[in-house]
């Protein structure tokens, strides 16, 4: 490989790195939006403790889902592990920490 070939490859490698970084930020942004959607959904359903927990139809990945990737199951999993939402033994979800407590 001579210097001319390397000089032509460097911009393409740089472009690939930029695309990779932007895709990672895009995924994080979509997960954050999914988290906010789930929290607002639980607040709207007044699921604030285990007795008022509700089932979320999008909590499990659907094998037949077509189109864009759904980040809500991943968001729910991350929030359960982070202690933001809780899960009952029946598979229902409730809000442990309210949105105003998380943002503030």
Contact status, residue 17 vs residue 50, Cβ threshold 8 Å: no
What pLDDT does residue 5 have? 87
What pLDDT does residue 21 have? 97
What pLDDT does residue 18 have? 97
What pLDDT does residue 1 have? 74
Sites in the chain below the pLDDT cut of 70: 62-68, 99-104
User: What CA–CA distances, in Å, run from 98 to 1, 30, 32, 38, 64?
Assistant: 58, 20, 15, 11, 32
What pLDDT does residue 87 have? 93
| 86 three-state secondary structure | strand
What pLDDT does residue 101 have? 63
Its pTM stands at 0.75
What pLDDT does residue 102 have? 60
What pLDDT does residue 20 have? 97
């Amino acid at each position: 490989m001579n210097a001319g070939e390397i000089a032509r490859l460097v911009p393409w490698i740089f472009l690939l790195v930029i695309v990779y970084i932007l895709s990672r930020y895009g995924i994080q942004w979509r997960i954050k939006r999914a988290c906010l959607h789930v929290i607002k959904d639980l607040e709207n359903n007044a699921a604030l403790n285990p007795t008022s927990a509700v089932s979320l139809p999008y909590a499990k990945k659907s094998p037949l889902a077509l189109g864009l990737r759904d980040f809500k199951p991943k968001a729910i999993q991350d929030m359960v592990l982070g202690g933001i939402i809780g899960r009952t033994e029946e598979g229902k979800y409730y809000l442990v920490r309210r949105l105003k407590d998380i943002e503030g």
